[in-house]
């Protein structure tokens, strides 16, 4: 049975739709209202407040913390400056991705790692020889994502922190509504936004203050459905949806390397060995089999397909994550799209997925499976650059 997050007393009062799901063992709101649309639009035009406490969190402390994380993950974390956050992934010995997340440097010898899956035992296995302590802080810390163009103005009302200094991918410790907190200029929506990290004891105070001060700035509690639409527009991948952790795959073909997931930019090879190093080096030399791509599914074709049945185009009302086949232009299966959404902002039908490298260039014409009136059809889809949505304010 799921358990409540530190914000549950507040979110449960606001979730009038009763639409919940389980996320990492916690109760999570899908959408607060009967439709998630207003929550999505709050993220894009005002501010959405999302309870992301179910993220797994680990505090890595000790003199060897930096070199330990550099050994475990694909990045040289020793170079991460105090108060900076970085996004990365970690692999198994064969260079296949185990999980992805962020690492924040909270002190000289203190890092916070987030993960989609329980990771303590994996980190622990690799700990030998390093002078580090690893604490699973998942339950102790509540996390809120405050995302959207007015998020900075809202925080400014509540904190002593110099928000101008908390640049993209920076983090600071501060007082927020009188509570000790960390604020990071990060998020999963591709918009201007922050994540707020507080001890469970102060969680409700912070939540109440944000909602109260946020009212003048159009704040709305937002659920996972709105988040999912935003993250696909921003083309962020999701463990368990767009790829499977190497630890859970029964067959090799299901595993993915960072290069295959579009995470090649996080891999730093010119340094001491790390887990998966040799395999990744080899892959870089020989080339990866697949690439992670964005697809723009031809809307006119979808429209005329449904028109054949006398129907307006029928689309899922929220993001989908049941995989769908991708074919090359001659109709042969070549890969799969793992998630997709009708972008309410761009008015386009997008999907994210993996295809063989030779079909991955932007502009490549592929075919995508669409079901209309119970029948399967193929419509054109073009490989396009990601992120689909990338507003200037995202980095501001």
Partner 1 sequence: MGSSYDAVIVGAGHNGLICAAYLAKAGRKVLVLERRHVVGGAAVSEEVFPGFTFSVLSYVVSLFRPSIIRELDLPRHGLEIIPLETAFTPQRDGPGLCRWPDASESRREISRFSQKDAEIYPEFSATMTQVSRFAKNIIDSQAPDPSSLRPQELMALLRLGRSFRAGEHGSLDLQAKLFTMSAVDFLDRWFESDVLKAPMSVSGIIGTYLGVRSPGTAYVLLHHYMGEIDGAFRSWGLSKGGTGGISLACARAAEAHGATIRTEASVESILIKGGKAHGVVLENGDEIQARTVISCCDPRRTFLGLVGEESLEGDFVQRINRYKFRGSSGKVNLAVDRLPQFRERSGSAHLRGDVAIAPSIDYLERAYDEAKYGEFSRRPYINVVVPSLMDPSVAPPGKHVISCFVQYAPYHLKEGPEKWPEKREAFGDTVVDTLAEYCPGFKESILHRQVITPWDMEHEFGLSEGNIFQGELSLEQLLFQRPAAGWSRYRTPIQHLWMCGSGTHPGGGIMGASGQLAARSILESRQL
Integer Cα distance of 255 and 76 in angstroms: 23
Closer of 5 and 151 to partner 1 (Cβ): 151
Q: Kindly state the smallest distance separating residue 265's Cβ from partner 1, in Å.
A: 23
In the shown chain, the binding pattern of residues 300 to 339 toward partner 1, with x for contact by CB under 8 A and - for none, equals: x---------x-xx-x------------------------
Q: Kindly state the smallest distance separating residue 189's Cβ from partner 1, in Å.
A: 14
Sole binder of partner 1 in the list 64, 136, 153, 212 (CB under 8 A): 153
Question: In the chain, which ranges are E strands?
Answer: 19-23, 26-31, 47-51, 56-61, 85-91, 97-107, 110-115, 133-136, 141-147, 171-176, 179-184, 193-199, 219-221, 290-297, 324-327, 333-343, 348-356, 365-372, 375-384
Using CB under 8 A as the binding rule, whether residue 299 contacts partner 1 is answered as yes
Using CB under 8 A as the binding rule, whether residue 382 contacts partner 1 is answered as no
Is residue 217 exposed (0-12), middle (13-18) or buried (19+ Cβ within 10 Å)? buried
CA dihedral sign, ordered 378, 35, 12, 148 = positive
- Contact residues for 236 (Cβ-Cβ < 8 A; gap 6+): 188, 190
Sole binder of partner 1 in the list 27, 32, 207, 217 (CB under 8 A): 217
Closer of 87 and 299 to partner 1 (Cβ): 299
Closer of 141 and 154 to partner 1 (Cβ): 154
Which of these segments, 67-75, 103-111, 189-197, 210-218, binds partner 1 (CB under 8 A)? 210-218
Kindly state the number of chain residues that form the binding site for partner 1, as judged by CB under 8 A. Answer: 29
- Contact residues for 119 (Cβ-Cβ < 8 A; gap 6+): 56, 58, 98, 99, 113
Contact 276, 73 (CB under 8 A): no
Using CB under 8 A as the binding rule, whether residue 12 contacts partner 1 is answered as no
Using CB under 8 A as the binding rule, whether residue 350 contacts partner 1 is answered as no
Closer of 172 and 348 to partner 1 (Cβ): 348
Contact 353, 256 (CB under 8 A): no
- The footprint of partner 1 (CB under 8 A) covers 33-35, 37-38, 41, 44-46, 149-150, 153, 215-218, 299-300, 310, 312-313, 315, 342, 344-348, 389
């Amino acid at each position: 049975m799921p358990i409540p997050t530190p914000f549950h007393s507040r979110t449960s009062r606001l979730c009038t739709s009763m639409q919940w799901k389980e996320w990492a063992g916690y109760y999570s709101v899908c959408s607060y209202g009967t439709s998630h649309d207003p929550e999505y639009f709050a993220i894009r035009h005002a501010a959405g407040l999302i309870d992301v406490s179910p993220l797994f969190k680990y505090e890595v402390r000790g003199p060897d913390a930096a070199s330990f994380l550099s050994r475990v993950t694909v990045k040289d974390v020793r170079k991460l400056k105090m108060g900076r956050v970085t996004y990365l992934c970690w692999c198994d010995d064969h260079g296949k991705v185990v999980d992805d997340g962020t690492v924040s440097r909270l002190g000289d010898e203190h890092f916070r790692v987030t993960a989609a899956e329980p990771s303590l035992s994996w980190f622990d296995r690799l700990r030998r020889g390093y002078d580090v302590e690893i604490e699973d802080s998942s339950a102790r810390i509540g996390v809120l994502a405050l995302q959207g163009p007015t998020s900075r103005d809202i925080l400014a009302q509540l904190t002593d922190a110099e928000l101008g200094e908390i640049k993209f991918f920076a983090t600071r410790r501060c007082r927020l509504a009188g509570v000790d907190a960390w604020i990071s200029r990060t998020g999963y929506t591709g918009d201007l936004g922050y994540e707020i990290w507080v001890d469970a004891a102060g969680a409700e105070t912070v939540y109440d203050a944000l909602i109260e001060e946020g009212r003048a700035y159009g704040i709305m509690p937002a659920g996972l459905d709105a988040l999912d639409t935003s993250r696909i527009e921003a083309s962020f991948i999701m463990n368990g949806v767009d790829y499977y952790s190497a630890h859970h795959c029964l067959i090799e073909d299901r595993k993915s390397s960072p290069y295959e997931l579009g995470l090649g930019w996080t891999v730093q090879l010119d340094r001491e060995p790390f887990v998966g190093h040799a395999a990744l080096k080899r892959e870089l030399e020989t080339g990866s089999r697949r690439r992670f791509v964005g697809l723009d599914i031809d809307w006119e074709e979808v429209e005329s397909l449904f028109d054949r049945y006398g129907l307006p185009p029928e689309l899922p009302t929220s993001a989908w994550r049941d995989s769908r086949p991708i074919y090359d232009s001659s109709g042969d299966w070549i890969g799969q799209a793992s998630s997709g959404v009708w972008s309410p902002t761009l008015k386009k039908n997008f999907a994210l997925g993996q295809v063989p490298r030779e079909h991955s260039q932007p502009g490549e014409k592929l075919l995508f499976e669409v079901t209309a009136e119970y029948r399967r059809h193929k419509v054109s889809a073009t490989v396009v650059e990601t992120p689909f949505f990338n507003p200037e304010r995202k980095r501001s």
